[in-house]
Amino acid sequence: MSTAVESKTREGGFSLKEWIFTTDHKRIGILYLIGSYAAFAVAGIMAMLMRTELSSIGPTITENPNTYNVWLYFHGAAMILGYQIPALTGFFANYYVPLMIGAKDVAFPRLNALSVWLFWMGIVLALLTFVVPDPPDIMWTGYPPYSVITQGNTALYTFTVLLIGFSSIAGGVNFLTTIIYMRAPGMTWGKLNMFIWCILTAFIIQIIFVPVLGTAVTMISFDKYLGTTFFNASMGGTAVLYENLFWFYSHPAVYVILLPAMGIIYEIVATFARNNIFNYRGILYGGIWGVVALGGIVWAHHLYVAGIPDWMSLIHVFLTLLISVPVGLLMIGIVGTLYKGAIEYRTPMLYAVGFVFLFLIGGLTGIPNAMSSIYIHITETYWIPGHFHYVMALSVTFAIIGGTYYIFPKMTGRMYHEGLGKLGFILLFVGANITFFLTMVLGVRGMPRRYYDYPQFPEFEGIQQLITYGSYVILAGSVVILASWVYGLVRGEKAVANPWGSRSLEWTHTPSPPPPGNFKEVPQLSEDWSPYGYGNGKREEEKGEDLEPARP
Amino acid sequence: MANHTAEHELKWHTSYWPLIMSVGILFFVPLAFVFYFVYENAFLTAISLGIGAPLTLISIAGWIREGFEDIHGYNQGLSVWAMPVFIVAEALLFAGFFASYWVLRLTAPVWPPLGTPHEMPFLVPIMMTIILVTSSVTIHMAETMLEKRKDMNWFVIWLFITIILGVVFLGLSVYEWIELYHEGFTLSTNVYSSSFFSITGFHASHVLVGIGIFLCILVPALGGRANLAFVKSASMYWHFVDIVWLFVVSQLYFWK
């Protein structure tokens, strides 16, 4: 077993059968990538439609407010369930985890394939929104009593959540087993990549909290179609129960998204700053496990005005403020890794730095939200979408796109277009800040959220228009980013095994793109090996020997 | 092992069954539900079930066959470690329903709410408990026969007894639901009935899945093949279903 293994791998040719029936983690990862970016595109178009509608007072492109509600539903549901969670716990987990821990594949390859296809079926179900006569109009939260009495199709929402949720649970079972039992010899717990720790904890959160969301959305469909009375106040039920169950999952879901995003940023920062991770153990035990410990007990800060008892609000104010400590540790880790590093601003690194900026704004604007006395005044205004778009949408999207740039050479065996990549970053960064900073400004001045039209606030029309222009800049940036990838796929120069000079296993031990089975032989790691062994900021010019590529 | 490994890394692994199963599931559950309950269209419901059920069943059969042939060749036995993780998720699923039930019950002004029969059944749940606990013992016996004594005959016999006990349990469940329905205690009577039927229904569906898993073990076992790790995981799942039942019976039937 040596070179013969490599040379016999399929040369060039594309086989549809080997893609749609694949059980290989790298190909499944790419299927996740396609599905999640497709969801991102459609949900992004919904956002553009909403922004265009809001650019002027009165009906702009639709006369029917319910159409706006459907856009709002699809934008939220597809962005979170169809794009962010599958991109991070699907694509990145699949592509990185076996490569980083030195495994041939995940523990259950067929179950992995089932996960990705259940996710695709969830996307199909979500897209039925545009086909059925009664599309769901219940936002991505599906609060009763509206979701129970609406004419819209609540069942589609329920089953979209259930299919993608089941896919997540199957993925969680698979990856927890893989990470615990399939690490290469010498890959001890203290030497794992930051990303592995982040994805491990993200899946622990998924396993614990997704089922509770499953029960919540099942109960609204039971209420609507089978006549149960869980949330029907006239029959002794209570709608606040749903809000508790929903946010009991959906707040930890923020950490399911944030932790892998942070993990990607750690990988990028360590590689491009040529530096060891700053305070590895502190971040691991204080930051990552701290988020896991606190993440499940802060959900009620979404419910301050929903009619929960005061003592409950008080506890959750305290706990929510407390969780800024582990998250702060995670941020300090990134900045500390940059400190005295030999920083090289390639496109992925620009996204990492952008992440730090955007997440800082998102995090700091979250602190006033945590205090119930302030929250009462800013809830239901544009401040809230501004805040959560910074903290979830923007920073995490920067991590996802930056991570895609970072892994692009390994995945495709070619380099993306560096100039277009940097241009795309600038457009996206500028557009995102115009859009969402002004959204927060408008919120402080009193613009209520979720409004389809605002004839009572003519003074806001100017800023609304600016926000819409900002969103068009984001669209332009997205097109440029896509162009840099398409150019890379078609005309890009061949990538060597380790174009970044990283020390991590997926770059040093396998060619780009990796062959079936990943490694020629099981990697044996020595005592002093570390994925971040850079000798603290000294740039070494060697880029690592070029391993034999899998495809000629 | 080394040679074997080198041999099968030459090509990309494929399997038909995951994709077929996910399409089957899409038609079998979500689409059939939407057509039946939302659009009330019996014809489209029948078509959905007609597409979904065969695809799901075929893919389960194909998957199991492939599992025995095991063209992937590595990582056997890890399912014993994966099942506890899955059980945690399942436990949280029940926890969501139980938490709702407790909240609704403890905040209710009067309990039991209007419409509940004076006497909740007593004898049948006791019988059901005895049957399910017994079945936990019998599946443990089956596992022991396979693992310690390598005795396929007794393994099949104990497994068969377990399946029979599971079916009897389900039969009693259905009998019970029909009885309560006749007393006017239905899904939409009050919050108690909603919780009652949702939780017992969810538990019964887990028993049904458990029986399905056992059939997936029984059929190859009749041909003399058994995968110990799979049997152990199935047995673990069954013990979990048994433990959940103790919560169901104590919280829903016997808590006055």
Encode pLDDT of A229-267 as tens digits.
Answer: 999 988 889 999 999 999 999 999 999 999 999 999 999
Residue that has been written with the tokens 């120069």 in this structure: A493
Q: State the residue range of the domain holding A472.
A: 21-453+462-508
Contact: A24, B13; criterion CB under 8 Å: yes
* B224: pLDDT strictly greater than 90: no
Contact: B92, A22; criterion CB under 8 Å: no
Contact: B89, A172; criterion CB under 8 Å: yes
Q: Which chain A residue's Cα is nearest to B81?
A: A177
**Side chain identity at residue A36, one-letter code:** S
Token pair in block for residue B60:
């389960």
**Which candidate from B38, B79, B92 shows the least CB-CB separation from A208?**
B92
* A520: pLDDT strictly greater than 80: yes
Instruction: Identify the residue among A10, A16, A104, A112 best suited for mutation to test binding to B, counting B beta carbons within 10 A and taking the highest.
Output: A104
Residue that has been written with the tokens 């900002």 in this structure: A470
pLDDT digits (tens, 9 = 90+) for B86-123: 999 999 999 999 999 999 999 988 888 888 888 888 89
Token pair in block for residue B169:
């349990």
Whether residue A212 lies within 8 A of chain B, CB to CB, comes out as: yes
3-state secondary structure of B14: strand
Domain-located, residue A347:
yes
Whether residue A211 lies within 8 A of chain B, CB to CB, comes out as: yes
Token pair in block for residue A532:
């971040």
* A8: pLDDT strictly greater than 80: no
The H or E element spanning position A318 is helix A310-322
Residues facing residue B41 across a β-bridge: none
Min mean pLDDT across A298-302, A463-467, B6-10 is at B6-10
Whether residue A208 lies within 8 A of chain B, CB to CB, comes out as: yes
pLDDT at A3: 36
d(CA A447, CA A422): 34
pLDDT digits (tens, 9 = 90+) for B121-137: 889 999 999 999 999 99
pLDDT at A428: 97
First to last CA, chain B: 61
* B5: pLDDT strictly greater than 90: no
pLDDT at B170: 97
**Side chain identity at residue B85, one-letter code:** V
Contact: A228, B86; criterion CB under 8 Å: no
pLDDT at B8: 47
Instruction: Identify the residue among A212, A244, A519 best suited for mutation to test binding to B, counting B beta carbons within 10 A and taking the highest.
Output: A212
Confidence of residue A293 (pLDDT cuts 50, 70, 90): very high
CATH of the domain at A145: 1.20.210.10
pLDDT at A526: 86
pLDDT at A12: 53
Confidence of residue A7 (pLDDT cuts 50, 70, 90): very low
Token pair in block for residue A148:
């129970």
The H or E element spanning position A169 is helix A154-181
- Chain A residues with CB-CB distance to B198 below 8 A: 219, 222, 228
**Which candidate from A212, A215, A516 shows the least CB-CB separation from B9?**
A516
CATH superfamily of B77-253: Cytochrome c oxidase, subunit III, four-helix bundle (1.20.120.80)
**Total domains present in chain A:** 1
Confidence of residue B9 (pLDDT cuts 50, 70, 90): low
Provide the mean pLDDT of chain A: 91
Confidence of residue A129 (pLDDT cuts 50, 70, 90): very high
ipTM entry: 0.94
**Which candidate from A180, A208, A244 shows the least CB-CB separation from B88?**
A208
Selected residue with higher pLDDT from A526 and A271: A271
Any alpha helices (H) in A445-535, and if so which ranges?
Answer: 461-491, 505-508
Confidence of residue A535 (pLDDT cuts 50, 70, 90): low
Whether residue A9 lies within 8 A of chain B, CB to CB, comes out as: yes
**Which candidate from A10, A236, A244 shows the least CB-CB separation from B191?**
A236
Residue A436's nearest CA partner among A470, A401, A465, A462 is: A470
pLDDT at A13: 66
pLDDT at B22: 96
- Chain A residues with CB-CB distance to B97 below 8 A: 215
- Domain range summary for chain B, segments of one domain joined by +: 1-74, 77-253
Phi-psi region of A336 (alpha: psi -120 to 50; beta: other; left: phi over 0): alpha
* A128: pLDDT strictly greater than 90: yes
- Chain B residues with CB-CB distance to A176 below 8 A: 82, 85
* A148: pLDDT strictly greater than 70: yes
- Report, as an integer, the average pLDDT of B181-202: 93
Contact: B5, A515; criterion CB under 8 Å: no
pLDDT at A9: 44
Residue A353's nearest CA partner among A409, A419, A399, A287 is: A399
Say whether the peptide bond before residue B112 is cis (omega within 30 degrees of 0).
Answer: yes
Contact: B9, A235; criterion CB under 8 Å: no
* pTM greater than the 0.90 cutoff: yes
Residue A205's nearest CA partner among A137, A264, A289, A147 is: A289
**Which candidate from A5, A125, A173 shows the least CB-CB separation from B82?**
A173
Min mean pLDDT across A191-205, A515-529, B66-80 is at B66-80
Whether residue A29 lies within 8 A of chain B, CB to CB, comes out as: no
Residue A525's nearest CA partner among A512, A536, A509 is: A509
Say whether the peptide bond before residue A448 is cis (omega within 30 degrees of 0).
Answer: no
Confidence of residue B10 (pLDDT cuts 50, 70, 90): low
Q: How far is CA A444 from the centre of its chain?
A: 27
Confidence of residue B76 (pLDDT cuts 50, 70, 90): low
Token pair in block for residue B235:
């047995």
DSSP, residue by residue, B40-78: --HHHHHHHHHHHHHHHHHHHHHHHHHHHH-SS-S-TTT
Q: How far is CA A65 from CA A46, A70, A135, A443, A523, in A?
A: 14, 9, 13, 21, 59
Q: How far is CA B197 from CA A226, B94, B167, B190, in A?
A: 11, 13, 19, 11
- Angle (CA) A175 A181 A186, round 5°: 120
Long-range contact pairs involving A504-510 (C-beta distance under 8 Å, separation at least 24): A504/A100, A504/A193, A504/A267, A504/A271, A504/A531, A504/A532, A505/A99, A505/A100, A505/A101, A505/A102, A505/A184, A505/A187, A505/A531, A506/A96, A506/A99, A506/A100, A506/A410, A507/A410, A507/A544, A508/A544, A509/A102, A509/A547, A510/A99, A510/A547
| CB proximity under 8 Å: A 118-147 to B | 118, 120-121, 124-125, 134
**Which candidate from A5, A121, A155 shows the least CB-CB separation from B33?**
A155
* A10: pLDDT strictly greater than 50: no
pLDDT at B11: 78
d(CA A509, CA A523): 7
Q: Which chain B residue's Cα is nearest to A132?
A: B39
- Chain B residues with CB-CB distance to A107 below 8 A: 75, 78, 82
**Max CA separation in chain B (angstroms):** 71
| CB proximity under 8 Å: A 223-262 to B | 225-230, 235-238, 241, 244-245
**Which candidate from B9, B15, B95 shows the least CB-CB separation from A21?**
B15
pLDDT at A5: 38
pLDDT at A524: 87
Domain-located, residue A3:
no
CB A512 within 8 A of CB A410: yes
Residues in chain A: 552
DSSP, residue by residue, B198-233: HHHHHHHHHHHHHHHHHHHHHHHHHTT---HHHHHH
Phi-psi region of A305 (alpha: psi -120 to 50; beta: other; left: phi over 0): alpha
* B3: pLDDT strictly greater than 80: no
| CB proximity under 8 Å: A 484-543 to B | 515-517
Q: Which chain A residue's Cα is nearest to B40?
A: A225
- Chain A residues with CB-CB distance to B37 below 8 A: 155, 225-226
First to last CA, chain A: 19
DSSP, residue by residue, B173-198: HHHHHHHHHHTT--TTS-HHHHHHHH
Domain-located, residue A525:
no
Query: From the CA of B58, how many Å to the nearest CA of chain A?
Result: 15
